[in-house]
Amino acid sequence: MSAPHWLYENFDPSGSAIGYRVSAKLDEVQSPFQKIEIYESTDWGNVMLIDGAMMVTARDNFLYHEMMTHPALFTHADPKQVVIIGGGDCGTLREVLRHPGVAKAVQCDIDEQVTRMAEKYFPELCESNGDPRAEILFDDGIAYMANCAPGSLDVVIVDSTDPIGPAEGLFNKSFFESCFRALKDDGILVQQSESPLVLLELIQAMRAEMGKAGFDSFQTLPFPQPCYPSGWWSCTLARKGGRGFGFREDDARAKAFATKYYSVDIHKAAQVLPPFVAEALG
């Protein structure tokens, strides 16, 4: 066990960095798609990096996985068919399967090694992988969505890496057209939409591409996520047919599963954007 030292991710687009004190490097694998590294930290549990970017820590991933899932699923009237694009650490899948009404949750990540590493070093995120409603695939999400049956899905969750490398094609009109076609009329697309503080223009661009694909109502929900650049992250929901974002408050309040961050009040609070974000997103 080496002496604790500091591990940093320098995030060039924002000229900022995030660091964790680590006590050991536990594993590393170079997959056909990306380099995956696992460290043991002194205070944040295990940490996963993909191509040098902080991806998951045991201590704070609940913020992200809960907010990527529960607002969208409680906004939908009765989500049964859910697809997760990316999400290889399986944390989002676990949250989706907490909803008893979900009949099937398909997770399609391009890189099997992410899931294999998560099974070894983040077993708590993989605890629902054996649920009979879960189907775990390893394929390019772009191709998967393009081949989805039209009007077959209630919710699509895009839990991807940043729009570079294999994830670049998950942020454009063509991909969003596939999502639009695969979703039922009352369906919801929700995608991790980066930092409202340092990547606001990316959120604007994502929403514009979603609009070109046919989606016509959008909701960006900010939330804290310490291990990502700026520590302030977001997800963006998109709907078709002018449908709004009122959610099943009574169901959310009466939910039979525990959450550490998500609540009805947090959901409502996230819908109130700071003025500079509201102005930029219109």
**81 touching ligand SAM, by CB under 6 A:** no
**159 touching ligand SAM, by CB under 6 A:** yes
Residue type at position 204: Q
**167 touching ligand SAM, by CB under 6 A:** yes
Binding residue per annotation — 244?
no
**Residue list 245-274, contact with ligand SAM (CB under 6 A):** none
Torsion of CA 103, 157, 148, 173, to 10 degrees: 160
Q: Give the shortest CB-82-to-ligand SAM separation in angstroms.
A: 15
**206 touching ligand SAM, by CB under 6 A:** no
**Interface region with ligand SAM, contact rule CB under 6 A, candidates 110-118, 183-191, 235-243, 268-276:** 110-118
**140 touching ligand SAM, by CB under 6 A:** yes
Nearer to ligand SAM, 110 or 238 (CB): 110
Q: Would you name the residues annotated as active-site residues?
A: 159
**196 touching ligand SAM, by CB under 6 A:** no
Please report, for residues 98, 236, 251, the alpha-carbon distance to residue 256 in angstroms, rounded to integers and kept in the order given. 9, 25, 9
Binding residue per annotation — 89?
yes
Q: Give the shortest CB-249-to-ligand SAM separation in angstroms.
A: 27
Given candidates 49, 55, 148, 202, which one binds ligand SAM under the rule CB under 6 A?
55
**Interface region with ligand SAM, contact rule CB under 6 A, candidates 16-24, 80-88, 201-209, 267-275:** 80-88
**46 touching ligand SAM, by CB under 6 A:** no
**89 touching ligand SAM, by CB under 6 A:** yes
Nearer to ligand SAM, 4 or 226 (CB): 226
Residues at the site binding ligand SAM, with contacts judged by CB under 6 A: 55, 64, 85-89, 108-111, 114, 140-142, 159-161, 166-167, 170, 192
- Which residues are documented as binding site for spermidine? 65, 89, 159-162
